[in-house]
Every structure is written in structure tokens, then in C-alpha cells.
Amino acid sequence: MQNEAKGGGVEDFFAALYAEPERLRAFLGAMSGLSAGPAQAIAAKFPWKDHKIFMDLGTAQGLLPVTLAHAHPHLGGIGFDLPQVRPVFEEFIAHHGLSDRVRFQAGNFFEDALPKADVIVMGHILHDWDLAQKKALLGKAFEALPKGGAVIAYDPILDDDRRENASAFLPA
């Protein structure tokens, strides 16, 4: 597992976090801060003209969908996350005037089928899980894609000596 700050385990961390609405809201906002730079780069560098629907897996507040939808008016998006995230996501999307193009899909990415999309983005997801879980998530993502689809993953990954990318030591 890449994230060293797990203590009782990543499942315990997320269960506690998602049980407290105000703490969850703060966490989702912090995830937007971590995702702002990558979202801008993905919006600018990926060939979006070739695609129509994207899904942000573990969408949090929805910064990546907002960034993509504003940069590419032809795109529609799905933010996929646990049900507790829905009110924060929908408020954020509505605030940015994108409720007609970006929707929320509640689910657990280990247990539920992923919605079909042309492009699936996984940001700050994979580092939280062991190798088998990483492979399972990537497998589910590729199963949800049509021919010609794409998966974009960005994540803080530690080097084997644990000397580079110190931000990966922090909980996601």
C-alpha cells in the first residue's frame, strides 16, 4: 500500500470521515485543491474532441468534472462516489451552472458496476489500495469503456526507497 498514514486501515479512515458531514465537506474541498492542477492539465492536454462522456471515479466535490465541462462544452460528465457525497457534489455542480451536463452517480467502486463512459478519470484513488484492489479497479474501469475509450489515472505514488513524493505519505 502506498499511503503510509493508514493506521487502522483505509476502510476505517474513510468510514469515519464519511460519517461526519462537516468533516466530509472539508475533505472533499481539500481534494479539489489537490486536483486543481491535474484537472487543468487533463482538460488542456487530452484529446477531448474525440469523446462525449467522461466519468470521474471518486469525484469528491466535482472539481474535475467542472473543469472539463467548462473547457469542453460538448462533454457530458458523471461524478461517481459514495452516496454521502451527493449533496456536496450537486451543490458544487449547480453553483457552476453545469447541472444540465454533469450528474452524480452514487456507488461503491469495489461493489457496484461503473457507468459507461468514453473516458474514465481516477485521481488520487489508486494509492489508497493494495495491488489486488488496484488491479480490480483498473479492470472495472476498462470493462466500462467502449472501443477507443481511455482511462486517465493520476496519483501521488511513492518511490521504493520512500524518499521522493512526500505528499503521498498524507491521507488522501
Torsion region of 81: left, alpha or beta (phi above 0 gives left; psi -120 to 50 gives alpha): beta
Q: Which of 70, 72, 96, 127 is catalytic?
A: 127
| H or E stretch covering 129 | none
Query: How remote is the C-alpha of 134 from its chain's centroid?
Result: 14
| Alpha-carbon separation of residue 105 from 66, 82, 101, 149 (angstroms) | 15, 8, 13, 19
Q: Judge whether 127 counts as a catalytic residue.
A: yes
Point out the residues that are catalytic: 127
